[in-house]
Amino acid sequence: VLEIGPGPGGLTRALLRAGANVTAIERDRRCLPALAELGEAFPGQLKVIEGDALEIPLASVMPGPCHIASNLPYNVGTALLLSLIHI
């Protein structure tokens, strides 16, 4: 699962508990410690990439088919969706 904008990890936690392997892209550094704790609680299931999903070539992060999860602010959703269509 590619999760964009996990924030402190509410949705991430649910995905991990369901057994998913999650690659999360987060640009807010304040959220990284909470995500690191989740990574420790679910070893081998979570990879966190610090950065802006609009600037990262997402095809290089998830080169094959994947599920995408996100809970984004409205103003980012359209631009992100358009970039995802090209994966």
pLDDT digits (tens, 9 = 90+) for 24-49: 999 999 999 999 999 999 999 999 99
Q: Domains in the chain: how many in total? A: 1
Give the domain range for residue 9: 2-85
**Which CATH number do you get for residue 25?**
3.40.50.150
DSSP codes joined into one string, the chain: -EEE--TTSHHHHHHHHTT--EEEEE--GGGHHHHHHHHHHSTTTEEEEES-TTTS-HHHHS-S---EEE---HHHHHHHHHHHHT-
Dig out the tokens for 7 from the structure. 């924030």
> β-strand 46-50 against 2-4: which pairing, if any?
unpaired
Is pTM beyond 0.75 here?
A: yes
